[in-house]
A and B are shown apart, each in its own frame.
Chain A
């Protein structure tokens, strides 16, 4: 079972944020606070990224949603630019996230 997160990213200087940059930052945050085992048990996966709206949909293991939410909150910067990643919604299906 998976949980899906809709995440909105605000950045001070970064104009064009890519999905790779975001998932790299997310994985390093998960790794920093929960370790390698955390990465494998939380299993964060970027499903969609909208560069125009700076929104991402990320999936994780259902029982580990608090850990992922904390890791998203603890992202401080992406590509050297100070960043705020805010969780907009969490859901059990992608359909209910986007509607």
Chain B
């Protein structure tokens, strides 16, 4: 089995205690890697110290950005600007048109929907063109007004179109962290089979992260092309 990865943690980056507690909770929950949603203006030194703090607890940290905008032009501008800065790029689809653009764009790793917004969902037209993985956040299921029919329907459509499903906690506090087995159990309740649910917390997020780390390496030229040896000058 691949290493368990939680691809969506939203830490309070200015609160050091909370970050340390989050790292400890992730370790005790059994995670080996995590993607933190970081604000765009965060200094490199701060990111480095966060990375070290998580590494001290035995957790590999990756930087993630959640893009939320209203139109196509804005999304494309943000993708141009931030794709090379972050390890994981996720788009929160606030309307159907944006969902279509985000799902089709190869720079987007993950798309996710707000389950409380009833007029926007992962439908067949988005699933049909989707290169990105669909993310399901546990934190959205905590809400009192949530109906499970929407995430169940989205998972059903994703499996029909063979879109990868990532299960994340989406937590904003350490108390919202759950074990990878618990996340995969929720995935199974919502309609994934055992293998898909297990891959949703391990193999799929890990492949996303690995692919992006390789893309950002100096040797990478384009898909399928990388520098093996430099010519001696």
Residue of A nearest to B197 (CB): A66
- What's the minimum C-beta distance from B137 to chain A, rounded to whole angstroms? 13
Q: What's the nearest-Cβ distance from chain A to residue B205, in Å?
A: 18
Chain B contacts with A in 180-194, Cβ cutoff 8 A: 181-183, 185-186, 188-189
Q: How far is the CA of A10 from the CA of B142 in the complex (A)?
A: 17
Min distance, Cβ A41 to any Cβ of chain B, angstroms: 14
**Any A CB within 8 A of the CB of B25:** yes
Decide if B179 touches A86 in the complex (CB within 8 Å): yes
Residues of A3-61 whose CB lies within 8 A of B: 8, 10-12, 33
In-complex Cβ contact of B177 among A76, A84, A87 (8 A): A84
Total number of residue pairs linking A and B with CB closer than 8 Å: 52
With A66-B189, A73-B186 as contacts: A84 and B178 at CB distance below 8 Å: yes
Per DSSP, chain B at the interface is helix
Assess whether A84 is in contact with B141, with CB atoms less than 8 Å apart.
no
Contact of A74 among B28, B142, B173, B175 (CB under 8 A): B142
Residues of A within 8 A of B174 (CB): 10, 84
Task: State A74–B140 Cα separation when bound (angstroms).
Answer: 11
A69 in contact (CB, < 8 A): yes
The residue of chain B having its C-beta at the shortest distance from the C-beta of A84 within the complex is B175
Q: How far is the CB of B26 from chain A (nearest CB, A)?
A: 11
Chain B interfacial residues counted at CB < 8 A: 21
Q: Write the B139-182 contact mask toward A (1 if CB under 8 angstroms, else 0).
A: 00110000010000000000000000000000001111111011
Residues of A near B91 (CB, < 8 A) are: none
Whether the pair B177, A74 counts as a contact (CB closer than 8 A) is no
Q: Which of A69, A82, A84 contacts B185 (CB 8 A)?
A: A69
Q: Which of A69-99 contact B (CB under 8 A)?
A: 69-70, 72-74, 76, 82-84, 86-87
In the complex, what distance in Å separates the CA atom of A73 from the CA atom of B174? 14
Partner of A73, one of B148, B175, B185: B185
* Contact of B183 with A73 in the complex, beta carbons under 8 Å: yes
Which residues of the partner chain A approach B181 to less than 8 Å between Cβ atoms? 69, 87
Q: Would you call B182 and A86 a contact (CB within 8 A)?
A: yes
Interface residue ranges, B against A (CB under 8 Å): 25, 28-29, 138, 141-142, 148, 173-179, 181-183, 185-186, 188-189
